[in-house]
Every structure is written in C-alpha cells, then in structure tokens.
Amino acid sequence: MLRTIRLTAAIVCFTLITLLFLDFTGTLHTWFGWLAKIQFLPAVLALNIGVVLFLIVLTLLFGRIYCSVICPLGVFQDAVSWFSGKQKKNRFRYSPALKWLRYGVLAVFILALVAGLNAFVVLLAPYSAYGRMVSSLLAPVWQWGNNLLAYFAERAESYAFYEVDVWMKSLSTLIIAVITLIVLFVLAWRNGRTYCNTICPVGTVLGFISRYSIFKPVIDTSKCNSCGLCARNCKASCINAKAHEIDYSRCVACMDCLGKCKQGAIKYTRRIQKKEGVNTEAVKIKSVTSEQIDNARRSFLSASTIFATSTILKAQEKKVDGGLAAIEDKKIPNRENPIYPPGSLNARNFAQHCTACQLCVSVCPTQVLRPSGNLATLMQPEMSYERGYCRPECAKCAEVCPTDAIHLTSLAEKSAIQIGHAVWIKENCVPLTDGMECGNCARHCPAAAIQMVASDPEIADSPKIPAINVERCIGCGACENLCPSRPFSAIYVTGHQMHRIV
C-alpha cells in the first residue's frame, strides 16, 4: 500500500511538473505553479522559510520522500532504472558511500553559491537540470504536435489550437541538456540512483537529515535469511545484507523493498535500536505502472510521428510578406549590456537567485526570454527582441519564477521599471536609407518616449527620424522589434546593470 501511494504521488508530481515546462500558454501555472515553488533549492534561494522548514520536517519524519516523490529528476531516474530492470534483474549490489565525494561536491557547491559562480551552481541543481532537459528537448516535440493539431483544426474550421514558433533559443543550453540527459540516463540505467547519492547537493543535504528520520524501512533480523535479494534490487545501493544494515542517508524511501522481501523481514516503521536494513526496486508491478509504461511507449511513437509530419508541413510553407517578398530574420545586435527581466532588480541579484530552470523562458508569450550563452550567467534567461517585445500587461515570468529572482508586485510596478534604454542607429533608419516615411517606433512606444523630428531642423519637410527620451524609455523593446529595418533594427535596447524607476 505504501509503495502504491508513493508511486501514485510521484507520477502525479512528475507529470504536472513536466507539463509546467511544456505549457507555453501558462494556464497550468495558475493551478500547479506551487509545485515549482516547493522544490528545495529554489525555496532556499527565494528565502521561502515555510517551504524549507516543511521539507526538513518531512525528511525528519519520513526520510527522503522529497527525492522519490517531489523531485522530478529523481522520479526520472527511477523510470530509467525501472526500464533497465526489465532487461536485467537483481543487478545492484551494496557499495559503501563515497562520503568524500558527496560532501566535497556539496562544499564546492555552497562556495560557488556564495561566490556567485552560477555556471557551476546551475549545472548541479536537480530541478533546474530536469527543467532544461524538458524545455530544450521535449518542448519542441510538444510544440510541433500542437502545430500539427492547429494545422488540421484550421482546415476543419476550428481554432481550438494555434500555431507557435519552434526555434532554438540557445545552442549552449541545448548541448548541456543533451549531455545531462545522456549522463543521467547512463548512470540510472547502470546503477540506479548514483547521481542522487554521490553528486546531487540537495540529495546530500537531505541525506544528512534523513539519518535521523523517525520512520524508515527496518530489517527484522529474526525473519531475515540473508538471501541478499534486497541488496541486489536496491537502486540506492545502500543495503548491506550481510550486516543487516542500511545507510539511511542514501535511502530515498521508495518503499520498493517492502514488497521485494519474500520473508516479510522489512517494514516501514519507527526507528528501533537494532541493526537495520533497507530494500528498494520491487519488481512486482502494479497495474497503474504498467499502464503508465504503455502510455509512455505510445507517446514516444506518437511524438516521433508528429515530429516527422509537422516538419514536412513546415517545409512546404514560405516566410513571405503578403506572398510577395521574403522576410529576412532579424539578428541580435551587439548590446553593451544584457537585458534582465523587470523585477530582477539588478544583474547581481538576478545572477545570485536564478537557477536557470528555464520555466520563465517556457511561458514567455512574446518569446523575448532566452538562455544566456555568457559563461558568467550561463543558461540564465536574458531578453532580446528579435521575435517580440516585453508587453507592459504581461508578468508571466514573475508569476512562475520559483526563486523570486523575478519579483513583481503589480503591473503598475512593471511599467515604471527601466530595464534599459533605446539607442538609435542612423545608418539603418528607413527614412534616411530608403527615403520612406516610417515612425513605427514612435507609434508603438508604450511609454511615449520616442518622437519623430525632422532630420534637418532647417528643412521642415526633411525625413523624420526618432528622438529618444532616455529618461522615459523603459526598455520594453517595442521599437526594436517593430522596426522594419533588416537584418538589424535601426533602434535597439541596451540593458542596465541596475534597474531604475521612471
């Protein structure tokens, strides 16, 4: 019963968290966004004392339930290990804890966190690592599937779906996501929870606390016949069957051992003053798990079909303006400073609190957020306006951010924050290069910070060019995005290291 409850809760949490990264509409965040905020490291960085205390108390009571139910990366490794177990049974064995590695990585992680070396921190953050894998590798397939449905729905005169752009937001993030997936897959396939019990800093912290948990799996030595079956199926490799001992700092409380022991020698109960042991990886499968695996196989085949079909359909489309002229994609200008989202206060505060989970990038409706390729802020989101601009009425990024790296109290506050200012490039301006009237930047500026003035003050009917009031400009990027000049806009935004109030 306990294993069934744990499995059901883990599947529900894992599915909902995955959907949070796939939901480009932001709808699910209204109901289930709290699942991102109860992740351990984001809660610590957000100074969410209530959540941190809840997770600590939960661990003190029941062991590392967080790792086996709430953490999506842990559940992902369990799924990979389960598939591996179908190929080769009884493949695990007890191995002593590598304490020097576990606590060494934790010490370096904490030092990097304090020193602001975020490139190292974001690589090891388990929740963020899973988020990057989903947003970089699975989200494009999800979006292609959505586009395929939109394609057929439109031909059926239904607009229940709408097409979205599928594009690579960051090559460096994609490469890191692929490497992370491969490493975790291999480790979980061969050795189960190796990453959680030797590298993951969150696992190490919770493992230290779980040594003192009240409820835990306990071996009844009077019933145990030392068959070693528990140790050969423990994906945490924490059962010493010969000594009837368990390393509770590595036990993830998966409850698999309760059904695996044929002698009924393992029970999940209060700690007793006896030699204890633990077991994991029950091969006995409940019907719900079988259905889940079958659905996963069907989903993979469906996703592959969707990917191929939508690619063919997209290849037949032409990017044209009214069917006449090809539209040249805009290129990213060479900005003096990167642009950080409103509510991040300043570059340093944002870098210290953001774990690069990509949740804000996934839900940004105007696609202005994308992962940074800069080593100092690697994979943390920054803004660019080639595909859209930051709308004053939108605060999706602040709503979903689990660490409060982006924090807004209201839309009125956002409209008053200056994250950068516009810069005019004379050589690219259409009125001067083509002799055509424009004024797009002035017409669409939500802050009324741009006015069109005569390029030659002495000639009243000379081509009009934009004049920027940098004190009123909030850096939303509407001017840059809507400028017709290609491939570089005649006006672009440069970021401020310290945000200002206008």
DSSP letters, 20-49, are HHH-TT-TTHHHHTHHHHTSHHHHHHTT-H
- Buried (b) or exposed (e) across 242-281, using 16+ Cβ within 10 A? eebbbbbbbbbbbbbbbbbbeeebbbbeeeeeeebbbbbb
- The separation between CA 305 and the C-alpha centre of its own chain, rounded to angstroms, equals 25
430: left (phi over 0), alpha (psi -120 to 50) or beta: alpha
How many whole angstroms separate alpha carbon 210 and alpha carbon 252? Answer: 9
How many whole angstroms separate alpha carbon 88 and alpha carbon 65? Answer: 26
- What residue ranges do the domains of the chain occupy? 416-501
Q: Which of 344, 91, 59 is nearest to 204 (CA)?
A: 59
Q: How many CB atoms lie within 10 A of CB 76?
A: 21
The residues near 137 (Cβ < 8 Å, ≥ 6 apart) are 174, 177, 178, 181
pLDDT at position 318: 44
CB 393 within 8 A of CB 401: no
Cα-flanking dihedrals φ and ψ of residue 246, to 5°? -135, 140
pLDDT at position 309: 52
CB 203 within 8 A of CB 196: yes
How many whole angstroms separate alpha carbon 78 and alpha carbon 235? Answer: 8
CB 237 within 8 A of CB 191: yes
Q: Which of 492, 493, 490 is nearest to 432 (CA)?
A: 490
Residue written as token pair 């499995």: 7
CB 397 within 8 A of CB 39: no
pLDDT at position 298: 59
- The separation between CA 279 and the C-alpha centre of its own chain, rounded to angstroms, equals 32
Angle between helices 139-155 and 2-22 (to 10 degrees): 70
The structure tokens listed for 407 are 């924090």
How many whole angstroms separate alpha carbon 198 and alpha carbon 67? Answer: 14
Angle between helices 171-191 and 126-133 (to 10 degrees): 110
Q: What is the CA radius of gyration of the chain?
A: 27
pTM greater than the 0.85 cutoff: no
pLDDT at position 134: 96
CB 368 within 8 A of CB 385: yes
**Strands 266-270 vs 369-371: parallel, antiparallel or unpaired:** unpaired
SS3 295: helix
How many whole angstroms separate alpha carbon 314 and alpha carbon 290? Answer: 36
Instruction: Identify how many contiguous H helices and E strands the chain contains and give both numbers.
Output: 24, 12
How long, in residues, is the chain?
A: 502
Instruction: Give the torsion sign (CA, 235, 236, 237, 238).
Output: negative
The neighbouring-strand residues paired with 269 are: 216
How many whole angstroms separate alpha carbon 380 and alpha carbon 372? Answer: 5
How is 209-268 classified by DSSP, letter by letter?
A: HHTT-SEEEEE-TTT-----HHHHT-TT--EETTTTEE-TTT-----HHHHH-TT--EEE
Residue-by-residue pLDDT tens, the chain, 502 positions: 788 899 999 999 999 999 999 998 888 998 999 999 999 999 999 989 999 999 999 999 999 999 999 999 999 999 999 998 888 887 788 888 899 999 999 999 999 888 888 878 888 999 999 999 999 999 999 999 999 999 999 888 888 888 888 988 999 999 999 999 999 999 999 888 999 999 999 999 999 999 999 998 888 888 888 787 888 888 888 888 888 888 899 999 888 777 777 888 888 888 654 444 444 333 333 444 555 556 555 555 555 555 455 444 444 444 444 445 567 888 999 898 999 999 999 998 999 899 999 999 999 999 999 999 888 888 999 999 999 999 989 999 999 999 999 999 889 999 999 999 999 999 999 999 998 899 999 999 999 999 999 998 888 889 999 999 999 999 999 999 999 999 999 999 999 999 999 8
pLDDT at position 97: 87
- Give the up-direction half-sphere exposure of residue 211: CA atoms within 13 A in the CB hemisphere: 8
Burial of 390 (0-12, 13-18, 19+ CB in 10 A): buried
CB 37 within 8 A of CB 225: no
CB 177 within 8 A of CB 133: yes
Cα-flanking dihedrals φ and ψ of residue 364, to 5°? -60, 115
Looking at this protein, which amino acid is placed at residue 432?
Answer: L
Question: Is CATH 1.10.3210.10 the right assignment for the domain spanning 416-501?
Answer: no
